[in-house]
Amino acid sequence: MKKSAMVILSAISILVLLIWFSCNPLADSGRKKNISGYSGLDETDIIKASEVWETVIDANSFSSYSAFESEWNYLYPWGATHNGSARMVGSSTDHAYIYLSGSELNLKSVPVSGQGDIHYYSGTIWAKELVTINDQFPNWEVRGDFQCQSARGTWPAFWLTGVNSWPPESDIMEYKGNNTCWQNTARTSSDWSTTLTTVSDPAAWHTYRVWISKVSDTDVDIHYYIDGVWKAVHKANFVNKPMWIIIDYQMEGSSGTPGPTATTYMKARNVYVGRTRAY
C-alpha cells in the first residue's frame, strides 16, 4: 500500500476514535471516573461488551415544570412526613416550597408554630423511575449538584431507599447539622457502612455521585464520590431490590434541635441517572 494511502487511513482511524469518544457517554469526564484505590479499575472495565449505556433521567429535568413533572413526584413516596420535624408541602399547583428557577430545583424550609411535632414546612421530591440492579440493568450511575445548608437542625439528603422493604438504603449525600457529609449503606437495621467527609462549604455547589455495579447474584458494589473524587466502596445485598431516588430537605431529627428560626434553602441541578442494559 502506498505511504500516502496509509497516512490517509491512519488519519481517518484517528478521526473515528475521536468521534466515538466525544459521543460515547462513558467517555464523558462527568461519567467516566477512575476508581482510585480499587484495584486500579476503571468503570469502563466493569461494563461488558454485551451491555449498552442508556440515560434514565437526563440533566435537564429541572428546566421546566413539564420536564420536572414527567420525571419527579412531589413529597415522599409514602406521604408528607418522615423522621424529622418538617412536613413536606407541594404539588403541581402549589410551588411555595418546591419550585424551579433557572434550571435549578429549590426546596424551601420555613419555621411554623402551633403544628404539634411539626416545626417546619419544607420540600422533598422523588423520582418516578426506580433503581433496580439486576441481570438486565447491572450498572447504575446517580449523581447531582447540590447546595446544602449545614446549620444545626438542617437535614438535606440525596438518597436511595427500598420500595418493598427497608433496608436497602444508600445515602449519596446527607448532612446532619454540620459540614460532615455522610455517605451510608444500610444492609439491615444494624448493619451499616458509613463514610464521613468534611466539606469546607456545603452551601457552595458540590457534586455527589454513586456508581453501583452488580458483582454477584446477591451483591452490588456501591462507589461513592464527592466532586469527582472517589471516597469509598460499600458492598451490599441489593440485587433485585428496587429503590426510590429521593431529594430531601428534612429538618431537626438527627440534625439536632432547635433548628433555624429563619427560612433556609436546599438547591439541586444537573441531576442525572443512567444505567447499562444487557442484551
- Catalytic residue list contains 51: no
- Catalytic residue list contains 54: no
- CA 156 – CA 175 distance, rounded (Å): 6
Instruction: Output DSSP code: residue 91.
Output: B
**Cell numbers for 157:** 439528603
Looking at 51, 69, 129, 169, which residue is catalytic?
169
The answer to whether 132 and 240 have CB atoms below 8 angstroms apart is: yes
Neighbours of 27 (CB within 10 A): 12
**Cell numbers for 178:** 454540620
Ramachandran sector of residue 228 (left: φ over 0; alpha: ψ -120 to 50; beta: rest): left
Looking at 71, 141, 174, 252, which residue is catalytic?
174
98-101 and 192-198 as β-strands: parallel, antiparallel, unpaired? unpaired
- CA 112 – CA 120 distance, rounded (Å): 5
**Residues forming the active site:** 169, 174
